[in-house]
DNA sequence: CGAATTCCGTACCGATTGGAATGGAATCTT
DNA sequence: AAGATTCCATTCCAATCGGTACGGAATTCG
């Protein structure tokens, strides 16, 4: 009941995600955000609450959209394939032609003032929980005999995630897709035996 | 001639560097900056020019201070030792007890609005030139026979720097020194034969 | 000592920040 | 059609942003 909204809330959120991805949390004002979303500030406020709530929604959308390679990678059959999928996904996502360079989870709010703290904390948690899921997947690989019994899942997961985050930083520094894939390949060269590079 | 300044300009710059390191360029206001430096805004403005000039000075000081491991690493005798020194330095600097966690070159302004562009550009250039110097060092290693003739110095350098930047991100996510050193060790395990871990 | 010079502190500048109040327009249920 | 409800647009809010104008305090040179 009542007057229906004149904008598509999903499309508006998509725009918001793009802008946050490109400029970070504190790097965008509500005014700029509203303009990019094609709506006015009150509409934004009514539909999404405040700025940090909008950011949370955008981060959620990012996780299930551009960064869904993370979840899908965990379904690969071997630890090696998981690692490959993560790094390959990181390369592709941080250099996708349509979108901003880099990773929202890294760019968003690495450093922040007090007002940027909510986004900062969300992203720290986002990065750490990602690493944790990879670790759990690698633990399963050890249990299954896919990884050697003496392998350290946490250490391997942290290594892969570190390279992935480093790739995001390098993408923000202007490196291209091929160069980043080279880096990913280098990181994988030392990985356990069954190399299956495409 | 004239009234002498009542604060130590070197110490003030040190404070500024610390704050930029911790909160990034846009994350600190001039007011907060001046307070941390123990001086007033007009004094700051008179001594350092505007905010981006102060940031430039702070970045300079960072390069020659906490991040001097980068330059010193290049003087190591072998490529392997260079790589080790870089990663070890990254670990130590991003987790030094006294200072902020992470790396000024990474934290400062990965993502930025228009007003943060100067810092953003400075840091992109800083990261890229760091990688370039490592590449040149590795090229020398190839020339000297320290690295195999078919090694790709650029690729190796980018890999090492990617891991180093990734370490900085992880430090900002709260990982401790030992955990980061584990990551560095893992990254080096695949490195060429002569492992000389301490 | 006195003039010139430089620095410090306060108080303030216009612009922009995240957020909200208000009122009219559009749609639902009754 | 009437009332209730929801949305949109303008306008405004106190606070803060980076950056200054100005007057008094401290120092050196003459």
Smallest CA-to-CA distance from A170 within A156, A184, A158, A159 is with: A184
Domain with CATH 1.10.10.60 in chain B: 9-61
Q: What is the mean pLDDT of chain B?
A: 86
Right CATH for B9-61 from 3.40.640.10, 3.30.300.30, 1.10.10.60, 3.40.50.300: 1.10.10.60
Distance between CA atoms of residues A120 and A118, nearest Å: 5
Q: What is the pLDDT of residue A150?
A: 92
A183 or A118, higher pLDDT = A183
- Give percent of chain A with pLDDT exceeding 90: 29
Residue A181 has pLDDT above 50, yes or no: yes
**From A178, which residue of chain B is nearest by alpha-carbon distance?**
B155
- Residue B152: per-residue pLDDT: 92
Other Cβ atoms less than 10 A from the Cβ of A154: the count is 16
Nearest residue to C8 (CA, C1')? B43
- What is the number of residues in chain B? 198
Exposed, middle or buried, A54 (CB in 10 Å: 0-12/13-18/19+)?
buried
- List pLDDT tens digits, range B161-196: 899 899 988 888 888 889 998 898 888 887 654 444
> Smallest CA–C1' separation from A49: which nucleotide?
C19
d(CA A149, CA B190): 19
Of A26, A107, A174, the CB nearest to B27: A26
pLDDT in tens, B33-81: 999 999 999 999 999 999 989 998 998 998 899 989 878 988 888 777 8
Residues of chain A contacting residue B28, judged by C-beta atoms under 8 Å apart: 113
Residue A70 pLDDT greater than 50, yes or no: yes
Whether B111 sits inside 8 A of A23 (CB atoms) is yes
Cβ(A173)–Cβ(A72) below 8 Å: no
Q: Is the pLDDT of residue B17 over 60?
A: yes
CATH 1.10.357.10 assigned to domain B66-189? The reply is: yes
Give the other-Cβ count within 10 Å of A21's Cβ.
22
Q: What percentage of residues in chain B have a pLDDT greater than 90?
A: 34
Contact yes or no for A110/B109 (Cβ under 8 A): no
- Whether B169 sits inside 8 A of A28 (CB atoms) is no
Q: Which residues contact A179 (CB under 8 A, 6 or more apart)?
A: A170, B158
Question: How far is C-alpha A177 from the geometric centre of its chain's CA atoms?
Answer: 16
Q: Which of residues 25-54 of B touch strand C (CB under 7 A)?
A: 39-43, 46-47
- pLDDT score at A34: 92
* Chain A residues with CB-CB distance to B128 below 8 A: 173-174
CATH superfamily of this structure's domain A9-62: Homeodomain-like (1.10.10.60)
Across the interface, whether the CB atoms of B186 and A161 are under 8 A apart is answered no
pLDDT tier, B197 (very low <50, low <70, confident <90, very high otherwise):
very low
Nearest Cβ partner of A182 from B155, B169, B190?
Answer: B155
Please provide the CATH number assigned to the domain covering A67-189: 1.10.357.10
- Helices (DSSP H) in chain B: which residue ranges? 9-23, 30-37, 41-48, 51-64, 69-73, 79-94, 104-107, 117-144, 153-172, 177-189
For CATH 1.10.10.60, list the domain ranges present in chain A: 9-62
- Rounded CA-CA distance B142/B151 in Å is 7
Write out chain A residues lying below 8 Å of B187, CB-based.
159, 162-163, 187, 190
Task: Locate CATH 1.10.357.10 in chain A.
Answer: 67-189
pLDDT of amino acid A195: 41
> Which residue's alpha carbon is at the shortest distance from the C1' of C9?
B40
Q: Are A127 and A54 in contact (CB under 8 A)?
A: no
């Amino acid at each position: 009941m009542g007057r229906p909204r004149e904008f598509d809330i999903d499309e508006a959120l998509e725009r918001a995600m793009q802008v946050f991805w490109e400029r970070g949390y504190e790097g965008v004002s509500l005014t700029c955000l509203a303009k990019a979303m094609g709506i006015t500030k009150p509409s934004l406020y009514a539909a999404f609450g405040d700025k940090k709530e909008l950011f949370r929604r955008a981060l959620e959308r990012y996780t299930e959209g551009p960064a869904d390679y993370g979840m899908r990678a965990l379904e690969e059959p071997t630890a090696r394939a998981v690692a490959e999928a993560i790094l390959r996904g990181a390369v592709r996502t941080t250099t996708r032609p349509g979108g901003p360079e880099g990773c929202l989870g890294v760019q968003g709010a690495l450093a922040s003032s007090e007002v940027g703290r909510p986004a900062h904390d969300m992203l720290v948690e986002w990065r750490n929980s990602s690493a944790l899921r990879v670790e759990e997947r690698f633990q399963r690989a050890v249990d299954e005999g896919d990884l050697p019994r003496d392998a350290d899942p946490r250490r391997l997961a942290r290594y892969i995630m570190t390279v992935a985050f480093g790739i995001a930083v390098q993408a923000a520094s202007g490196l291209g897709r091929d160069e980043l894939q080279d880096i990913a390949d280098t990181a994988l060269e030392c990985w356990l035996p069954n190399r299956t590079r495409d």
